Structures are given as structure tokens and as C-alpha cells.
Amino acid sequence: MARPRSFDRDHVLHAAERQFRASGYNGTSVDDISAATGLGRGSLYAAFDGKHGVLLEAMAGYFARLGQGPRKALAGPDEGALERLHGYLLRAVHGVPLAADVPPAPDRAAAACFAAKMALEIGASDPEVERLANDCFSVVATAVAECVRAAQRNGDIDPDADPDDLAYLLLTIIRGIDVVGAYGHSPARLTSIAESAFALLPRPRHR
């Protein structure tokens, strides 16, 4: 009974996310989003209620993808849990991809976690963004902690270590790699950091 939307909502949000990650929130104008998505201003305002609305929805989409990216990558049997953690740490060197089948962003600052970037830039003055970013962190932290527990059950990590503490630490390191990557360090250097972190994981004592 009415004209249907001619654009794919997710596709638009992806393009907007890429733009926000590349230029930051305040560095991105509505015209930039318009150009990146191909949508006119009017459509943008009608569909997302402006720049801030686009950001919130893009972050919500990002959050939703975390359930299919990191969470799936970390879930699995106890046996390979330690190796899954290892792989996850190493993949963090290349940043957080826009989507599973999309290559990571060319420059490292744009490859950093979307939620982290937005939280650092505007989280202090934007509670909604801060909360969304924290949600992103929490969901991955839970997945990492579960993977740590799996590795503990398999005897690969010291059973006395607190899995939640360890998960927080690992995620903190991964977010730190994003920052160090933004300084312009080579992937090799970042890999070295990730490997050092992995090497320090507490192994069972009776080894």
C-alpha cells in the first residue's frame, strides 16, 4: 500500500560505521554519511533521525555482530579452548573487521573497536554511547571468560586463576593493541605484544 524502502538498512549502517570509524564522530558530517551510504539527507533523517541516531543504530548493529563474530570464535569444546584464545588474541592485531567477510580497514586507527573509539571520543558526554560501548565490552568479556573456563577444565590454564579477571585483562590488552596500533606500529610489533600476552597466561602448576 506504500512505496517500500529502496535501500538496505544494514548496508547503510555498515557504510556509516566505516565512516565513523575512519573519521570519528565529530569528524564525520551528515554529508559524509550521505555520500558514503548513497542516501539523501531527507532519507537519513526519516530513517535514523539524524547523525546521532545513525551512530546509535550502527553501534547497535555492531553489538549484534559481536554475538556472531567473537562469541562464536570463542565458543566450542574444552579441548581447543586455549588455542581459540590464542587465535582470538592474534586476530586482534588486525583490528575488528566491519563484517566477517570484509577485510579489515586499511589504516589501523580505523580498524580499532568501533565501540572503544566512540566511547573514548564522545562517551564522556554521551551516556547512551558509553552504555552501548560497555554492553559491547561485556558481551565479549563474558565469552572470553567462558573460553578461559573451558581451557581451565581442559587443564590448559591454572584452575586457581579467576576466569573473569583474566577475561577482563585479556580484553584490556586487546583494546590496548588497538591504541598502540593507532600509533602506527607494524603488525609484527602488535603480534609480538599479543604473543607476549598469551605466553604469560597462567598455566597449571603441575606441569
Partner DNA sequence: GTAGTTCTGTACTGAGTTGTCAAGAAGGGC
Partner DNA sequence: GCCCTTCTTGACAACTCAGTACAGAACTAC
Site of interaction with DNA (CB under 7 A)? 1-7, 28-32, 38-43, 45-47, 50-52
158 binds, among a second copy, DNA, none (CB under 5 to 8 A by kind): none
- Give the burial string for 57-73 (b: 16+ CB within 10 Å, else e): bbbebbbebbeebbbeb
By the rule CB under 8 A, 182 interacts with a second copy = yes
By the rule CB under 8 A, 103 interacts with a second copy = no
Beta-carbon count within 10 A of 42 CB? 9
Task: Output the smallest distance, CB 117 to DNA, in A.
Answer: 17
Region of 24 on the Ramachandran plot (φ > 0 left; ψ -120 to 50 alpha; else beta): left
Residue from 4, 183, 205, 207 in contact with a second copy (CB under 8 A)? 183
Please, what is the Cα angle at 102 between 100 and 103, to 5 degrees? 115
Q: 75 φ, ψ to 5°?
A: -75, 155
Query: Where do contacts with a second copy occur on this chain (CB under 8 A)?
Result: 22-27, 107-110, 112, 116-117, 119-125, 130-131, 133-134, 137, 162, 165-166, 168-169, 171-180, 182-185, 189, 192-193, 196-197, 200-202
